[in-house]
């Protein structure tokens, strides 16, 4: 069965692949959201809880994930695992999807474009705030990278973390060049 899935669906399948390599229990929707918040948010989008459950329903309907009720706690929760068909679909997408150019959706660049409507001090403050936010996000990603270490099982996520760190460094460099022109 071939289904048309969103990139977010494939991202969730990917998170479930990592889980299947380390656990036999599967992940709840809430646990998927936590994992997305710790990983995807640095380079993609961390989906909202409602979107995760919508995608899990879709993936269950296609047979790409299988849900099982877990009654071991105070309340029943549903845990999801990727199925062999889900893994095959994910691998097909990885090998055949288009190499899309990323869409730059940068609120600071948009505000800077309209900088003539702000005073120079306000533009400077905006750039200062952005550099500070980048430093905070970089620090968070550094912690993720350190956690990944040199473990071969997570070598590719570590490479993505390295890419993200270089991206944050480039953002600060861009702002510094812009400041010299203001």
Residues 6+ apart with CB under 8 A from 43: 160, 163, 164
pLDDT at 2: 57
Any idea which fold 7-96 has? Arc Repressor Mutant, subunit A (1.10.10)
Q: How many CB atoms lie within 10 A of CB 33?
A: 21
pLDDT, position 22: 66
**What is the signed CA dihedral for 162, 174, 176, 136, rounded to 10 degrees?**
-40
What pLDDT score does 182 carry?
A: 85
Note whether 86 and 14 are within 8 A (CB): no
The pLDDT assigned to 104 comes to 84
Q: What is the pLDDT of residue 3?
A: 67
Reading the chain (182 residues) residue by residue, the pLDDT tens digits are 456 898 899 999 999 998 776 667 889 999 999 999 988 888 888 899 999 999 999 999 999 999 988 888 788 889 999 999 999 999 999 999 888 888 888 999 999 999 999 988 999 999 999 999 999 999 999 999 999 999 998 899 999 999 999 999 999 999 999 999 98
Cβ–Cβ under 8 Å, residues 39 and 144: yes
């Amino acid at each position: 069965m071939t289904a048309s899935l969103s990139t977010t669906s494939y991202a969730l399948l990917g998170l479930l692949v990592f889980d299947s390599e380390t656990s036999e229990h599967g992940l709840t929707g809430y646990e998927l959201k936590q994992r997305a918040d710790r990983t995807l948010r640095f380079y993609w989008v961390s989906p909202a809880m409602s979107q995760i459950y919508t995608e899990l329903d879709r993936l269950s309907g296609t047979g790409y994930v299988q849900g099982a009720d877990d009654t071991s706690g105070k309340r029943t929760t549903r845990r999801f695992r990727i199925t062999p068909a889900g893994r095959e679909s994910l691998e097909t997408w990885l090998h055949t999807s288009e190499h899309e150019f990323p869409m730059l959706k940068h609120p600071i660049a948009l505000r800077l474009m309209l900088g003539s409507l702000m005073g120079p001090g306000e533009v400077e403050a905006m750039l200062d705030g952005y550099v500070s936010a980048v430093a905070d996000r970089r620090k968070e990603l550094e912690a993720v990278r350190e956690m990944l270490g040199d473990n071969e099982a997570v070598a590719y996520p570590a490479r993505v973390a390295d890419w993200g760190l270089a991206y944050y460094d480039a953002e600060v460099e861009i702002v510094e060049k812009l400041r010299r022109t203001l």
